[in-house]
Chains A and B, each alone.
Chain A
Amino acid sequence: MSGGNAGEANERNGGNAGEGSGGYGGNGIEVEGLVREFKKGPRAVDGIDLRVKPGEIYGFLGPNGAGKSTTVHMLTTLLPPTAGTARVAGHDIIKEGPAVRDAIGVALQEAALDPFLTAHEHMRLQAGMHGIPKAEARRRGERLIERVGLSEAADRKVGGYSGGMKRRLDLALALVHEPRILFLDEPTTGLDVQSRTALWDEVGRLASSHGVTVFLTTQYLEEADALADRVGIIDDGRIVAEGTPDVLKAEIGRPTVEAAPAEADALERMGAVLERFGQRSPAPQGSAAVRLDAGTGELAEVVRALDAAKIRVANLEIHAPTLDDVFLAKTGKHLEGSADSAAPPTGELEALPA
């Protein structure tokens, strides 16, 4: 993945100059009261309001079935909303579908590629459908394929690509018409840590050096945390919290202390001692955890109390609040695959890139 080129960035920024009489015009997103009902079932999206600033990476975080993809389908004009409005790149998603599509690049959840075509052929088709002249299409295609690190595989059929290669090609295809806003629907679901990190790097670079606005859905806390300037947390079709990851976590504020006794039969007593310092929170098997009412200052007290109760401690950890804690506080639920009893709370930290 080589760096982008400055000319492209200037071109793009030049294209956006002279915007901005109120609203986010050029490459922002404004959503008001967006609703989508399906014939059978509840409201998939139940009145969403949000604003994404130009050049911002907005992370739309929520569990499976929360309404993330439905929102993306509406914002990318593929699905008409039942109620509400949205403007993407300054264009109404209902009345100005073609103009919206022209301004956006989209990589949907499926990374829908034709297994019988090569990366070059995909690029040619995608550019051709956008009406980009052949020579220019070839130039851009080469550059994008190189940027996502697929030059060597570019003449192989996509059917033989790994999940990560497919996602990277999908990203490159979404960029061929030089969109100002990029929608990525769960871009790293199912990818290994390495591929995930590579994709994060590329998305980060697009936003920072090319000024592309990114709307990204994810069910991974660490992804929202690592990549997003601002996060909207969605559950059951509603946004339950919104802000920068740091602010959201600071709102929740309280760290969690997690301890494991040296003797397994002391676990219950240990839990009882810990409960004096805060509310119980889920912990891996063999451990007990509480959210400290008075913050990290209480840690020494906790240790003294355990000592006084004659409980030998095998392990003691303190966890800063995570976006999952935010999610838990707002919805009373954990995000799937996060700090549920099945997975240790540290699991998500281990998945972070070094």
Chain B
Amino acid sequence: MSQIGYLAQRSLTRTLRQPAVVVSSMIFPLFLLAVNASGLSAATDLPDFPTDSYLTFALGLTFMQGALFATMGAGQAIAQDIQGGFFNRLQLTPLRGPALIVGQLSGVALQGAFQAVTYLLVGIAFGADLEAGIAGALLLLALAMLVAVAFGSLGLALGLRTGNGEAVQGAFPLLFVLLFLSSGALPRDLIANDWFQAITTVNPVSYIIEAFRSLLISGWDGEALALGFGCALAVLAAGTFAATAALRTRMART
């Protein structure tokens, strides 16, 4: 087994042995889903609203929220390793930097998968649509894992840069701003306010949410999926680049 394998195994084991963390990061998005689905259901009366089930519409946002929790998890895990000295333990072995990044992110991917399956099952149980069927569900799961890993790499970069769990936690509200300034609550073409619509249009999170939503509401929408996967890959590229740079600075060993 390679270094990646050993580090991934550790990351997965840690994730599985902290069910409280996994569960609590699932409950908040589901809670918000319940609030939104009941409180904002009148939005479906708007002309051109894409579906008559606000629950289905809001579920797209839920997947994205889950990924943000994964971001925090990844950032805090590495920050804890740095603060507690485990990072030095690894540095004293022939550790290769990329192996650490990939290994850490595999735990995030697992958490992303758990979350996505839960959100989907809960959503469907309460009557959400899944227009793209079983294959669509698998694609949705893949996108959820990709998004978790993409944002997880940003968290990893932050954790490696700051080496401080509190600093990582402090960035959480900033990420939530990205969520609120997206098309998470309303379709972009129905946002009346110009500046808000402009921001949601340049916010990559909008396209990721729309890709989730397309599988739920409209079935197979090639453009929405390409944009969603594209944006997630772009975030992954940026996050991995930032994490690699931060790791290089952090690994001061000779």
- Also in contact, A98 and B94, with CB within 8 A (given A124-B6, A125-B10, A129-B3): yes
Inter-chain contact B94/A116, CB cutoff 8 Å: no
Q: Are A101 and B94 in contact (CB under 8 A)?
A: yes
Pairwise interchain contact B17-A110, C-beta atoms closer than 8 A: no
Say if the beta carbon of A106 comes within 8 Å of chain B.
Answer: yes
Q: A79, A108, A124, A126: which contacts B85 (Cβ < 8 A)?
A: A108
CB of A88, distance to nearest CB on chain B (Å): 11
A116 to B84, CA, bound (A): 13
Closest CB of chain A to B80's CB: distance in Å? Answer: 9
Chain A residues lying within 8 Å of B94, measured Cβ to Cβ, are: 98, 101-102, 129-131
B89 at the interface (CB under 8 A from A): yes
Beyond the given pairs A129-B3, A130-B93, 5 more chain A to chain B contacts, judged by CB atoms under 8 angstroms and listed by A's residue number, are: A108-B88, A110-B84, A112-B87, A128-B6, A129-B95
Cα–Cα, bound, A256→B221 (Å): 89
Q: Which of A89-97, A194-202, A232-240, A293-301 contacts B (4 or more CB under 8 A)?
A: A89-97
Residues of B within 8 A of A157 (CB): 17
A116 touching B17, Cβ below 8 Å: yes
In the complex, what residues of A have CB within 8 A of residue B89's CB? 108, 112, 126, 173
- Which B residues form the contact surface with A (CB < 8 A)? 1, 3, 5-7, 9-10, 13-14, 17-18, 84-95, 252-254
Contact: B92 with A76, CB < 8 Å? yes
Does chain B have a CB within 8 A of A78? Answer: yes
Decide yes or no whether A153 CB sits under 8 A from chain B. Answer: no
Interface of A is mostly: loop
- CB-based contact A128/B91 at 8 Å: no
Q: List 17 A-B contacts (CB under 8 A).
A: A78-B91, A93-B254, A101-B94, A102-B94, A109-B85, A110-B84, A112-B87, A116-B14, A116-B17, A117-B10, A117-B13, A121-B10, A124-B6, A125-B9, A129-B90, A130-B94, A131-B94
Within 8 A of B (CB), among A231-274: none
Q: A101-B94, A125-B10, A129-B94 are in contact. Are A116 and B18 (CB under 8 A)?
A: yes
- In the bound assembly, the distance between CA atoms of A113 and B92 in angstroms comes to 14
A289, B18: Cα distance in complex, Å: 57
Q: Choose one: B6, B85, B252; the contact of A129 (CB below 8 Å).
A: B6
Cα A117 to Cα B7 in complex, Å, equals: 12
Q: A114 to B10, Cβ gap below 8 A? A: yes
A350 → chain B, closest Cβ, in Å?
Answer: 32
The 3 closest A-B pairs by CB, nearest first: A112-B85, A110-B85, A97-B254
Interchain CB contact (< 8 A) of B253 among A78, A121, A125, A134: A78
Residues of A within 8 A of B (CB): 76-80, 93-95, 97-98, 100-102, 104, 106, 108-114, 116-117, 121, 124-126, 128-131, 134, 157, 173
Alpha-carbon gap, A116 to B22, bound state (A)? 14
* Interface contact A78-B86, CB-CB below 8 Å: no
| Beta-carbon nearest neighbor of A110 in chain B | B85
Cβ–Cβ < 8 Å partners of B252 in chain A: 78-80
C-alpha gap A78/B7 in the complex (Å): 20
**A288 smallest CB distance to B (angstroms):** 45
CA distance in complex: A100, B89 (Å): 15
Would you give the shortest CB distance from B100 to chain A, in whole angstroms? 10
Among B85, B252, B253, find the residue whose CB has the most chain A CB atoms closer than 10 A.
B253
B6 touches A94 (CB 8 A): no
Which residues on B sit within 8 Å (CB–CB) of A109? Answer: 85
> Complex Cα distance A193/B236, Å?
51
Q: In the bound complex, what is the Cα–Cα distance between A130 and B13 (angstroms)?
A: 20
Q: Which of A97, A121, A129 contacts B93 (CB 8 A)?
A: A129
Do residues A114 and B3 form an inter-chain contact, with CB atoms below 8 A?
A: no
With a CB–CB cut-off of 8 A, which chain B residues contact A134? 1
Q: Is the CB of A94 within 8 A of B13?
A: no
CA distance A168 to B10 in the complex (A): 21
In the complex, residue of chain A having the shortest beta-carbon distance to the beta carbon of B18: A116
In the complex, which residues of chain B have a beta carbon less than 8 angstroms from the beta carbon of A130? 93-94
In the assembly, what is the distance between CA of A87 and CA of B67, in Å? Answer: 47
- Which chain A residue lies CB-closest to B3? A129
Is B14 a contact of A114 with CB atoms below 8 Å? Answer: yes
Chain A residues within an 8 Å CB radius of B90: 129
Contact A101-B10, Cβ < 8 Å, known A78-B252, A95-B254: no
Q: Roughly how many angstroms separate A128 CA and B103 CA in the complex, as a whole number?
A: 13
Taking a contact as CB atoms under 8 Å apart, the answer to whether B253 and A128 are in contact is no
Complex: A134 Cα to B1 Cα, angstroms: 8
CA A98 to CA B6, docked complex, whole Å:
20
> Which residues from chain B contact A77 at a C-beta distance below 8 Å?
92, 253-254
Instruction: Given A114-B86, A129-B3, check contact A94 B254 (CB 8 Å).
Output: yes
Which A residues touch B86, using CB under 8 A?
A: 112-114
Q: Check B84 against A80 for contact (C-beta < 8 Å).
A: no
- Nearest CB in chain B: distance from A157 CB, A: 7
Chain B residues within 8 Å of A173, by CB = 89
B93 touching A101 by the CB < 8 A rule? Answer: yes
With a cutoff of 8 Å between Cβ atoms, the chain B residues found around residue A108 in the complex are: 85, 88-89
Instruction: Report whether A112 and B95 are in contact in the complex, using a CB–CB cutoff of 8 Å.
Output: no
A126→B13 contact, CB < 8 A: no
**Interchain CA distance A106-B13 in the complex, whole Å:** 25
A98 to B1, CA, bound (A): 21
Query: Contact between B18 and A78 (Cβ–Cβ < 8 Å)?
Result: no
Contact, CB under 8 Å: A112 / B84 = yes
**Distance between Cα atoms of A128 and B4 in the complex (Å):** 10
By a CB distance below 8 angstroms, the chain A residues around B17 are 116, 157
